Amino acid sequence: MMRMIKATAAMGLLGVLSAMAGCGEVVPLEEHGCPCASGWSCCGGACVVGSCEGGEAGDGVQASCSGSIDLGTQTVAEGADASISPGVEQVTGLSKGVLQAGEQKSFDYATSMWLTLPGWEFEGWLVSASTDQSFTFQVWAEEDGGAVPLPVVAYGPLEGVGTSSCSGTMQTAGAMLGTEVQWKAGSEGTYFVAPFHQVSETSSGLAIQGLDNTAYANAFITMNIVE
């Protein structure tokens, strides 16, 4: 089976924010409330260069993980051939940015996950959460004029946010599926939330459900906070 390798690159402009207060005084960026410019983080309600002290993110953090996120290992589901023993594969994630409450993101589910050596990598978004905060997710693909629910999975809280060495573990028993799924963050921090594909072991190698299937090209994800 052909294994796919996908290269991604991201370029951004570093924003510079300043504000004028009485008598033309320039207020330092650090004294501004969030949200922050690219390259800055929201720590304790103020913008600082880079990541927060100790790697902890505050509310409204402009979180970033510039490299592949280490998501540990996962046992592959059994395929149709019961004689093939499931393997344990290395899993990594790639951040597409921060997902905010009430925001809808479009993506191509058919190309949002690909095989690596070993294991696989998939795309998702970073979500900032406080302890025991609850969210709902709707993830679907438009197919023949209808909506097909897609599975979603959450990892975290991530370590190394603001660096190129982010890592985290799965925070659910597995992929969540439904027209609207509810998820609760275990503790305060930044999480990686992503659409998920079922992976199975076959005699030809790993098989990824929905991979390169153009029927799932037009997909969407929406997140809301449960009050």
Of 53 and 126, the one with more pLDDT: 126
pLDDT over 80 (residue 220):
yes
Phi first, then psi: what are they for 118, rounded to 5°?
-95, 170
Whole-number percent of the chain with pLDDT over 90: 39
Q: How far is CA 179 from CA 61, 76, 145, 150, in A?
A: 28, 25, 16, 8
HSE, CB side, 13 Å, CA atoms: give it for residue 137.
29
Q: Report CA dihedral (131, 68, 11, 142) to the nearest 10 degrees.
A: -70
What pLDDT is recorded for position 157? Answer: 94
Whole-number percent of the chain with pLDDT over 70: 67
What pLDDT is recorded for position 20? Answer: 27
Overall pTM surpassing 0.85 (yes/no): no
pLDDT over 90 (residue 155):
yes
Q: How far apart are CA 149 and CA 201, in angstroms?
A: 24
Look-up of token digits 């990686």: 192
192-212 residue pLDDT tens:
999 988 888 777 778 888 788
Q: Is 126 helix (H, G, I), strand (E, B) or coil?
A: strand
Q: How far is CA 213 from CA 5, 67, 110, 141, 145, in A?
A: 17, 27, 5, 11, 17
pLDDT over 50 (residue 24):
no
Other beta carbons within 10 angstroms of residue 67's beta carbon come to 13
HSE, CB side, 13 Å, CA atoms: give it for residue 75.
7
Using an 8 Å Cβ cutoff, are 144 and 47 in contact?
no
Q: How far apart are CA 171 and CA 173, in angstroms?
A: 7
Q: How far apart are CA 152 and CA 81, in angstroms?
A: 26
Using an 8 Å Cβ cutoff, are 129 and 168 in contact?
no
pLDDT bin (cut points 50, 70, 90) of residue 76 is: confident
Q: Is 30 helix (H, G, I), strand (E, B) or coil?
A: helix
107-141 residue pLDDT tens:
999 999 998 888 899 999 999 999 999 999 999 99
Of 28 and 181, the one with more pLDDT: 181
